């Protein structure tokens, strides 16, 4: 005779175990990779913001140092535009070097 699943005393445990196995399978293949991707995006964005903040603070510090150094020999107004000119020339040279390395000589 075919057994009735409701007369089996372990049917509820077996059904719960089956559902738990399938939910674990689905979670391992959907939710965990999605959580890893989202964590990577969040921490990457935080790192990018931190790096940009440090770069801006560094540039402000360099500009202030150049102006203070220029104040030793020049008037303040002249020291300001000389500092802008020096930093601009540095970034121009850096950009020109980057443009030169853009293509290979092949």
Mean pLDDT by 10 residues, the chain (106 residues): 64 84 87 91 97 96 93 91 94 92 75
On whether residue 4 sits in a domain, the answer given is no
On whether residue 5 sits in a domain, the answer given is no
Q: What distance in Å separates the CA atoms of residue 85 and residue 57, rounded to the nearest whole number?
A: 19
On whether residue 1 sits in a domain, the answer given is no
What's the pLDDT at 64?
94
On whether residue 76 sits in a domain, the answer given is yes
- 3 state SS for the chain: CCCCCCCCCCHHHHHHHHHHHHHHHHHHHHHHHHHHHHHHHHHHHHHHHHHHHHHHHHHHHHHHHHHHHHHHHCCHHHHHHHHHHHHHHHHHHHHHHHHHCCCCCC
Q: Which domain holds residue 90?
A: 11-100
What's the pLDDT at 2?
53
What's the pLDDT at 9?
74
Q: Is the pTM of this model over 0.85?
A: no
Tokens of 47: 């790192």
What's the pLDDT at 14?
81
On whether residue 105 sits in a domain, the answer given is no
On whether residue 2 sits in a domain, the answer given is no
What's the pLDDT at 1?
40
The total number of structural domains that make up the chain = 1
What's the pLDDT at 5?
63
What's the pLDDT at 59?
94
């Amino acid at each position: 005779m075919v057994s009735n699943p409701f007369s089996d005393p372990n049917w509820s445990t077996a059904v719960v175990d089956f559902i738990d196995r399938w939910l674990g399978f689905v979670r391992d293949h959907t939710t965990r990779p999605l959580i890893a991707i989202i964590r990577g995006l969040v921490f990457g964005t935080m790192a990018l913001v931190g790096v940009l903040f440090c770069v801006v603070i560094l540039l402000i510090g360099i500009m202030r140092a150049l102006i203070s150094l220029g104040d030793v020999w020049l008037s303040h107004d002249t020291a300001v535009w000389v500092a802008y000119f020096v930093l601009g020339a540095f970034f121009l040279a850096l950009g020109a070097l980057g443009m030169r390395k853009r293509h290979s000589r092949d």
